[in-house]
């Protein structure tokens, strides 16, 4: 039972002052601006947008500043703000095939139509500190390992020296194709890939922010829950799948990062309006499937899509998406990552943090009740033990 | 609703400039308007809300809700009766109002008029920025080669 | 296009006007049969009473499908609701979250609207019945939640058999539609929990 506690107002106001002081830190150090966070801590902002389930880089940066960099607290701020906004409607489904690609890699095909584009990635960096970043002066880029980037496939055209390879001037390069096929669709053309088509009538998706979730949950519900779910939780579950708690060790069919336009049809206009671009990360995971008596052996998919540049999130989501499809393929749901109720009820870090952290708030009355109960039980026990020696009637309540 | 070809292409033209204005900064839009803001009534005051962004499983399959994005809209009517709409990502109410006024004015102007040419110039700048970003990404295009053991 | 015709303005102060109207509608449904003014200083489109228009402006949005009689749907009222509420208009009454009928019109039957499901009885249609007046008609006695003993209302203009339909709607409780009887700037609430014609 919850019993309200009153008082402590002055102390609470004082803690607000103290938190402002702690947030600011040493005033001898210049204050960080929201624009600096947005531009220089973009990957953090992406995580806050995903878990706050609201695409707005400025707000994500503000949330991070206000929360002293606490990502879950920042996501909470985004969620709280979102509830104050009216919703105008739903966008047309975004078309990731028309993404303006900044990065696109495949672990399954070396020679990919449209090409492998490394883009900005930490994949090929040494995890060594760049102490130059500690200086205020403009620092050197954490670049490619020159021993790798120097080895281009076409030595006749590619520059040989490491230095040249690092600064290949962009004006010498043709822009990328505006339409790049998704890798699973290449396998799909051969019939080797589980097809991915909209259900009859292309229904509006379920929205777990508007309607209560019931189980078993359909794929649209699962994908929405994971898109706003905690990256760490999904990463752990995805890892468990790979390690044998879910029986999949898939390939990355493709990861792509870039900008897609968001289109919306206002009821009063009746035609699609292009609202601008958002950055998305998409991951297509290719998994084995032995087939069943109805279906020939084929590859199956796991899908991840997330706001901003957030590959780890999109990859984890696609691993767990495939694990959660076990029911559709008649596989046994033996492991946590395969159980939709477990995954969906525990992936939301704002809910999880709320329930875990509420434990530190006053429970004085509950605890008094427990304390009284345990004292009474102990007293009764002592009386009973004494009574076994002195044949007295047992104290009964 | 009329669906003759002329109207369709008008809609397409309008969609194009609305997309350009959605991507423009407030300063760029203010420059297009010039120093004198035409008189207008506000039918829907600039309002920030959200649009739920939908994706498709596997990129082409079942629709699902990815998450919301902030959007600001505004609807105005000029004295000549033309209605202007603005819908764009973000939370800039002033930009929304100016863009809605521009949308109304652009509908009244003949194709090739100065205002249309100015929007085209803005579109060209946006397109050049996209091409540059694409070239930068293309500069990181790589050809992996596999090493065959014992070959 | 419909949006190019002159559409009258909606709320001039959306936050306070919609909250005021919401409070009035809440009170109307909490105390069935008491008259409440739903005023948002809105000039309604042709075919809608001010209270009807204000209620829809307050309650409807892009997620709530609205059913209107065909003449209203294809006219100024439909365009006005589409513009201000971003609401989609449907032709099937069973899909509507909100609907408007004129009290005297012979159809659709109240049973044609969505009475909700056992799992989600709250997802039923809220029907606004536009009367020719809120008094001077056939007297009806109301009892039930929100009414201490009984209350008598006499809205003018309902079609023959209307009260029998309302009684049948109550029999389906907890399923059923909720009614608002409107005229000019005022409404009566008649939720599904209200019984018709019974006196303790």
**DSSP letter for each residue of chain C:** -GGGS------SSHHHHHHHHHHHHHHHHHSTT--EE------PPTTS-HHHHHHHHHH--TTS-EE--HHHHTSHHHHHHHHHH-PPEES-GGG-SEEEEETT---S-GGGS----SS-GGGSPEEEEE-SBSSSS--EEEESTT-SS-EEE--B-PPTTHHHHHHHHHHTTTSS-EEEEEETTEEEEE-TT-EES---
Can you say whether the dihedral through the CA atoms of A46, A50, A52, A53 is positive or negative?
Answer: positive
Instruction: Using the CB atoms, write b or e for A325-364: b if 16+ within 10 Å.
Output: bbeeeebebebbbbbbebbbebbbbbebbeeeeeeeeeee
Residues 6+ apart with CB under 8 A from A298: A191, A192, A193, A194, A289, A291
User: If DSSP codes are grouped into helix, strand and coil, which group holds residue A199?
Assistant: coil
- In whole angstroms, give the CA distance from residue A166 to residue A175: 18
Q: How many domains does chain C have?
A: 1
Assess if residue B133 is contained within a domain: no
Q: What percent of chain C has pLDDT over 90?
A: 82
Chain-chain contact of B81 with C2 (C-beta, under 8 angstroms): no
**In sequence order, what are the residues at sequence separation of 6 or more whose Cβ sits closer than 8 angstroms to the Cβ of residue B40?**
B76, B77, B78, B79, B84, B101, B104
pLDDT at res. A201: 94
Q: Which residues of A touch C62 (CB under 8 A)?
A: 87-89, 267
Question: Helix, strand, or coil here: B50?
Answer: strand
Pick among C9, C18, C43, C89 to test the B interface (most B CBs inside 10 A) = C9
Which domain does B26 fall in, by range?
5-126
Interface test with A, best of B100, B142, B147 (most A CBs within 10 A): B142
ipTM: 0.91
What is the rounded CA–CA span in Å between residue A218 and residue A352?
Answer: 22
- pLDDT of C54: 96
Find out whether A119 and A256 touch, Cβ atoms under 8 Å: no
**C-beta atoms of B50 and A174 within 8 A:** no
Closest partner residue to B68 (CB to CB) among A82, A97, A196 is A82
User: pLDDT > 70: what percent of chain C?
Assistant: 96
The span from the CA of A180 to the CA of A101, in Å, is 8
- Range(s) of the domain holding residue C142: 12-190
Report CB contact under 8 Å: C82, A267.
yes
Contacts of B62 (CB under 8 A, 6+ apart): A196, A198, A199, A205, A219, A220, B56
pLDDT value of position A190: 80
What is the pTM assigned to this prediction? 0.85
Residue C156 lies in a domain: yes
In a domain, C85, yes or no: yes
Q: Which residue of C has its CA nearest to B84?
A: C4
How far does the CA of residue C2 sit from the closest CA of chain A (Å)?
9
For tokens 């001077």, name the residue.
C136
Give the pLDDT mean for B58-75. Answer: 96
Residues in chain C within 8 Å Cβ distance of B1: 1-2
What is the structure's pLDDT at A156?
A: 40
Residue-level pLDDT at A387: 85
Residues of A in contact with C63 (CB under 8 A): 87, 210
**How distant is the Cα of C4 from the closest Cα of chain B, in angstroms?**
7
Q: Test A268 with C82 for CB contact under 8 angstroms.
A: yes
Determine whether A73 is exposed, middle or buried from the number of CB atoms within 10 Å of its CB (0-12, 13-18, 19+): middle
**Confidence class for position C12, pLDDT limits 50, 70, 90:** confident
Given a cut of 80, whether residue B103 has pLDDT beyond it is yes
Indicate whether B143 belongs to any domain.
no
Judging contacts by C-beta atoms under 8 Å, the chain B residues touching residue A306 are 66
Q: How far is CA A358 from the centre of its chain?
A: 24
Q: Is the pLDDT of residue B113 over 60?
A: yes
Considering only alpha carbons, which residue of chain B is nearest residue C7? B43
Selecting from B11, B49, B139 the residue whose C-beta is nearest the C-beta of A85 gives B49
Interface partners of chain C (CB pairs < 8 Å, 3 or more) are A, B
**Which residues of chain B neighbour C9 with C-beta distances below 8 Å?**
43
Q: What's the pLDDT tens digit per position in B15-34? A: 999 999 999 999 999 999 99
Chain A adjacent subunits, 3+ CB pairs under 8 A: B, C
Contact at CB, C1 and B43, closer than 8 angstroms: no
> How many angstroms separate the CA of residue B108 from the nearest CA in chain A?
17
pLDDT of residue C190 exceeding 60, the answer is yes
- In chain B, which among 113-142 make CB contacts under 8 A with chain A? 130-142
Q: Which of A51, A52, A44 is nearest to A68 (CA)?
A: A44
Contact B38, A199 (CB under 8 A): no
pLDDT at A160: 42
- On whether residue C127 sits in a domain, the answer given is yes
- Distance, in Å, from the CA atom of A81 to the CA atom of B97, rounded to the nearest integer, reads 23
Q: Residue B147: pLDDT above 80?
A: no
Q: What are the C-alpha distances in Å from C76 to residues B94, C47, C48, C162? A: 30, 8, 10, 27
B134 occurs within a structural domain: no
Low-confidence ranges of chain A (pLDDT < 70): 1-5, 136-171, 391-397
Let me know the angle formed at the C-alpha of A224 by A220 and A227, rounded to the nearest 5 degrees.
140
Kindly report the CATH number assigned to the domain that includes residue C70.
3.40.50.11310
CB contact under 8 A, B81 and C6: yes
Q: Which chain B positions have a beta carbon within 8 Å of C74's beta carbon? A: none
Q: What are phi and psi of A104, to 5 degrees?
A: -160, 115
Which band of pLDDT confidence, cut at 50, 70 and 90, is reported for residue C7?
confident
C82 contact A CB<8A: yes
Which residues on chain B are in Cβ contact (under 8 Å) with C1?
Answer: 1-2
Residue the block writes with tokens 């900005």? A120
DSSP letter assigned to residue A30: P
Give dist(CA A111, CA C150) in Å, integer: 81
For position B145, what pLDDT does the model report? 63
Contact flag A115-B141 (C-beta cutoff 8 Å) = yes
CB nearest to A91's CB, from B11, B51, B137: B51
Q: Are strands A251-264 and B141-142 parallel, antiparallel or unpaired?
A: unpaired
Integer Cα distance of A138 and B83 in angstroms? 49
* Closest by Cβ to B83, choosing from C4, C9, C84: C4
According to the 3-state scheme, what is the secondary structure of A313-327? HHHHHHHHHHHHCCC
| Average of per-residue pLDDT values in chain B | 90
* Domain count across chain B: 1
pLDDT of residue C9: 79
For residue A210, the chain C residues in CB contact (below 8 A) are 63
- What is the predicted pLDDT for the residue at C4? 44
Q: Is C88 part of a structural domain of the chain? A: yes
Residues A268, C86: C-beta atoms closer than 8 Å: yes
CA distance C151 to chain A (A): 36
Give, to the nearest 10 degrees, the angle between helix B114-138 and helix B5-23: 60
């Amino acid at each position: 039972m919850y019993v309200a506690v009153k008082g402590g107002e002055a102390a609470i106001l004082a803690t607000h002052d103290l938190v402002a002081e702690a947030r600011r830190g040493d005033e001898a150090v210049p204050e960080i601006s929201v624009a600096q966070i947005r531009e220089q801590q973009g990957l953090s902002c992406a995580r806050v947008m995903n878990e706050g389930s609201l695409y707005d880089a400025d707000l994500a940066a503000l949330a991070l500043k206000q929360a002293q960099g606490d990502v879950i607290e920042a996501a909470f701020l985004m969620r709280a703000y979102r509830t104050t906004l009216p919703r105008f409607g739903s966008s047309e489904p975004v078309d990731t095939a028309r993404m303006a690609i900044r990065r696109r890699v495949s672990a399954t095909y070396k020679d990919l139509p449209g090409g492998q584009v490394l883009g900005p990635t930490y994949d090929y960096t040494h995890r060594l500190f760049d102490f130059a970043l500690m200086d205020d002066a403009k620092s050197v880029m954490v670049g490619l390992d020159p021993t790798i980037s120097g080895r281009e496939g076409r030595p006749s055209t590619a520059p040989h020296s490491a230095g040249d390879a690092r600064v290949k001037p962009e004006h010498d390069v043709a822009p990328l194709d505006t339409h790049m096929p998704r890798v699973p669709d290449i396998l799909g053309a051969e019939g080797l890939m589980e097809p991915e088509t909209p259900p009859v009538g292309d229904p509006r998706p379920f929205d777990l922010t508007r309607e209560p979730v019931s189980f078993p949950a359909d794929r649209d519900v699962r994908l929405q829950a994971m898109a706003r779910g905690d990256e760490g939780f999904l990463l752990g579950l995805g890892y468990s799948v790979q390690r044998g708690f879910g029986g999949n060790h898939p390939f990355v069919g493709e990861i792509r990062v870039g900008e897609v336009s968001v289109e919306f049809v206002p009821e009063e206009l009746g035609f699609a309006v292009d609202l601008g671009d958002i950055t998305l990360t998409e991951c297509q995971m290719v998994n084995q499937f032995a087939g069943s008596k109805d279906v020939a052996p084929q590859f199956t998919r796991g899908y991840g899509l997330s706001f901003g540049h957030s590959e780890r999130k999109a990859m984890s989501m696609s691993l767990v998406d495939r694990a959660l499809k076990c029911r559709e393929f008649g596989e046994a749901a033996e492991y946590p990552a395969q159980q939709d109720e477990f995954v969906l009820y525990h992936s939301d870090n704002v809910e999880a943090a709320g329930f875990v952290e509420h434990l530190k708030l006053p429970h004085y009355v509950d605890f008094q009740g427990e304390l009284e109960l345990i004292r009474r039980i102990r007293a009764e026990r002592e009386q009973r033990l004494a009574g076994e020696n002195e044949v007295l009637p047992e104290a009964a309540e | 609703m009329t669906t003759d070809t002329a109207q369709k292409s008008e809609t397409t033209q309008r969609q194009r400039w609305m997309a350009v204005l959605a991507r423009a900064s407030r300063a760029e839009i203010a420059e297009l308007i010039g120093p004198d803001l035409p008189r207008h009534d506000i039918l829907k005051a600039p309002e920030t809300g959200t649009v739920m962004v939908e994706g498709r499983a596997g990129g082409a399959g079942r629709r699902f809700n990815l998450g919301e994005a902030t959007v600001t809209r505004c609807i105005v009517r000029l004295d000549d009766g033309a209605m202007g709409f603005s819908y764009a990502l973000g939370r800039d109410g002033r930009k929304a109002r100016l863009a809605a006024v521009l949308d109304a004015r652009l509908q009244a102007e003949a194709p090739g008029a100065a205002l249309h040419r100015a929007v085209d110039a803005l579109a060209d700048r946006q397109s050049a920025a996209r091409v540059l970003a694409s070239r930068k990404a293309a500069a990181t295009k790589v050809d992996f080669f596999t090493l065959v053991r014992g070959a | 296009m419909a949006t190019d015709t002159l559409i009258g303005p909606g709320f001039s102060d959306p936050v306070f006007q919609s909250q005021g109207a919401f409070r009035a509608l809440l009170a109307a449904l909490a105390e069935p049969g008491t008259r409440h003014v739903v005023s948002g200083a809105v000039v309604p489109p042709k075919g809608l009473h001010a209270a009807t228009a204000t209620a829809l402006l307050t309650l409807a949005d892009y997620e709530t499908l609205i059913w209107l009689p065909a003449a209203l749907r294809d006219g100024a009222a439909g365009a006005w609701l589409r513009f201000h509420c971003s609401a989609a208009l449907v032709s099937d009454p069973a899909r509507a979250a909100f609907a408007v009928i004129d009290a005297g019109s012979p159809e659709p039957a109240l049973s044609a609207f969505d009475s909700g499901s056992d799992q989600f009885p709250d997802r039923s249609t809220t029907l606004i019945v536009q009367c020719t007046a809120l008094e001077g008609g056939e007297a009806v006695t109301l009892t039930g939640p929100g009414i201490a003993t009984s209350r008598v209302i006499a809205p003018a203009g309902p079609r023959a058999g209307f009260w029998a339909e309302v009684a049948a709607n109550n029999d389906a409780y907890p399923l059923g539609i909720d009614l608002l009887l409107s005229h000019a700037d005022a409404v009566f609430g008649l939720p599904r929990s209200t019984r018709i014609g019974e006196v303790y």
